[in-house]
Chains A and B, each alone.
Chain A
């Protein structure tokens, strides 16, 4: 490998790390919901893509600046998160894990089909900020839109961490995730906390959907299944229920997938991401940051 290849490799790692911020956000969403409810929400990535679509469709015809589109996507994500909770979890007995798994699959299919129905399956262009900026550093160049996406992801993660660790609502959420019965005895309403967690993760998902759209430049209903798989992989590699783990694993998966896309081509790329996951499952089944609540 000569110098030029080395530069290209490092460049693709950097691009991948920047894009990995979206995976990190999705991983946080899966991890938070798993933390409080010990359930998987398979409709999460689909709802995130759906929120990004909703922001485009609501503003169709209006020439809105990208920042407004992003904000609207976050709001739509929160609303969708609440709907997901009511439709898939609220009225189904929690002792039966298979039922909620199946109901979220049903919702995943439903959201995908609503998107296809509304857009006739044609991918839509998504606005991006700073897409014409390229920061040069020696032989390397960093794309402005990816850097913006990365920065947006970092800001959202900091806000989320503050929310979880510095507010009373966050305290209640953590109490429920550690010991639901004791939390209930202290006067915390499980339904309220669960619903609140779904709305917060929905907002995170809406931002992640907008970030994906901005980074790729377009939205397609075909995005939701690969994003679901990647988000779940990030959650497991980072350690179930661990927010810092999801962040680091998201960046890791982003960089890892881009380097193999550069070295081995796009059709084999995901095969190596799966191998990374298998390596973690065999050698470190608890993920990078194992939390006590993930001992199940």
Chain B
């Protein structure tokens, strides 16, 4: 049972990561920096609860704010670039963050052990949950509470004017600009919101695993972050959730019985999904079909 609870936790954390990339992708920007913001959130939250002995929620808020501030600072120079240039610049930013933590030592002595991040060995002993007697189920509820809050906020934003503005910039920048939208402000805000979500997700991730190290936050995690919204489709936030369930629940855990062959199938299934559904699993067409289906049910029921 604990295994499934743990799986549900990791699905929640990856949903946060995917949603952070979803915000940025709505404006048509491909950002591979999300793993970097995720790493910043993980290290900041971990250091606050372990070294400064803060409670969890202020530490997560601080992690989200710091990651968001860095995302905003990165956004200004980076979003002058487009397409391939932006992809490369954000990959380079994410890798620089990873390499920074690879070379980052800050340890203090607590009792008879030394705690804190130690370069290549990583940051051990982030034991907030066990020390404060949280059960796995409580952690799970906490994770999904955060995910629900973020999804509800994004769902609301999507249906408000802000969502329309983001999508307008994503569809056609020139047209959006000519209707008086300040595209730099829109893109930087999207980047900042993405950074905040990724920072909070990273903070939860650090406390979930209790041990973080730089290799976890590499290019692979960054491509996963953008893979979720692209695979799921950008029509609404549930596409991302669906893709996380597909990837983490089915491809990674569900196919474990295949052993070594699972990893082979993983790349092949992504390829197949993109060839068959280039606009994502839950694209506009699929949503329209679902609507028609529910409409017909209503009609026959009435």
On A, residues with C-beta under 8 Å from B are 34, 38, 40, 87-88, 91-93, 96-103, 105-114, 116-117, 225, 228-229, 232-233, 235-236, 240, 267-268, 270-271, 274-275, 277-278, 281-282, 285, 296
Contacts and interface: CB of A to CB of B under 8 A. Distances in A.
Interface string B277-301: 0110000000000000000000000
A111 B69 CA distance: 37
Given A225-B219, A296-B82, A274 B92 contact: yes
A-B CB proximity, top 6 nearest: A110-B267, A106-B270, A109-B267, A99-B278, A103-B274, A106-B271
A278 B74 CA distance: 11
By secondary structure, the A interface counts as helix
Given A232-B88, A267-B99, 19 more contacts: A87-B275, A88-B271, A92-B275, A92-B278, A93-B278, A99-B230, A99-B278, A102-B227, A106-B267, A117-B260, A229-B91, A267-B103, A267-B120, A271-B99, A271-B100, A271-B103, A275-B96, A281-B81, A285-B80
Contact of B88 (A108, A113, A233): A233
B8 to A, nearest CB: 24
Pick from A92, A98, A228, A282 the residue with the most CB of B within 10 Å: A98
Pick from A103, A116, A235, A285 the residue with the most CB of B within 10 Å: A103
Contacts of B88: 232-233, 235-236, 277
Contact of B271 (A34, A110, A267, A285): A110
Nearest to B218: A225
A102 B77 contact: no
Interface residues of B, number: 47
B175 interface: no
B270 A105 contact: yes
A124 B271 CA distance: 28
A235 B93 CA distance: 16
Contacts of A91: 275
Contact of A103 (B30, B275, B279): B275
Contact of A270 (B95, B260, B263, B269): B95
Interface string B201-232: 00000000000000000111001001100110
Nearest to B272: A106
B103 A268 contact: yes
Contacts of A111: 267
B176 interface: no
B129 interface: no
A236 B83 CA distance: 11
A105 B225 CA distance: 12
B235 to A, nearest CB: 13
B260 A106 contact: no
B270 A285 contact: no
Nearest to A271: B99
B264 A117 contact: yes
A169 to B, nearest CB: 25
B122 to A, nearest CB: 14
Nearest to B275: A91
Given A232-B87, A232-B91, A277-B88, A103 B271 contact: yes
Given A99-B230, A271-B100, A281-B77, A229 B219 contact: yes
A285 B268 contact: no
Contacts of A96: 278-279
Contacts of A101: 30, 87, 226, 230
Contacts of B264: 110, 113-114, 117
B92 to A, nearest CB: 5
B92 A233 contact: yes
A109 B227 CA distance: 12
Contacts of B230: 98-99, 101-102
